[in-house]
Amino acid sequence: MESELQGNSGGYIILSANGVKTVNIPIGSADEASATWWRFVRENTLGASDLKTDSGMIYSNNNEFIARVSYNGRVWTPNGELLQDFANRLRTNTAIGPEHWPLQSRANTKPSTVNGLWVP
């Protein structure tokens, strides 16, 4: 399955929830978007009902809507087609390292691993 975001050279994901500052995080792939998403949800102990409607939306660098991350970490095209299944990549031992974590999280967070996989 393609992990690049429809041939775009990157963009950003919106991360927003009730009680949490909204941020736009630069990303370059669906893998990175999903890893960043999981980090945001876990760090802030968020449930689906905590999220704002724009949370998980992915835009190209020229502000075109190109994909969306659902609560389960899957990345979908604007037409609702599955682009990336991050949970499946974790089950298949694909390492997702701290280079995919939001920038504000990298400085003071030491990575942890489970079965040799980075835990975002």
* pLDDT tens for the 120 residues of the chain, in order: 345 555 556 799 999 999 999 999 999 888 889 889 999 999 999 999 999 999 999 999 999 999 999 998 899 999 988 888 866 655 444 444 444 444 444 444 444 433 333 334
Q: Specify whether the CB–CB gap between 40 and 100 falls below 8 A.
A: no
CA dist 42 and 53 (Å) reads 18
3-class state of residue 12 by DSSP:
strand
The C-alpha angle 108, 110, 111, rounded to 5 degrees, equals 135
Does residue 1 belong to any structural domain of this protein?
no
Domains: count for the chain: 1
Domain membership of residue 5 (yes or no) is no
Quote the domain boundaries for residue 114.
Answer: 11-119
For the whole prediction, is pTM greater than 0.75? no
Q: What is the pLDDT of residue 4?
A: 55
| Token pair for 62 | 């020229």
Q: Are strands 11-17 and 20-27 parallel, antiparallel or unpaired?
A: antiparallel
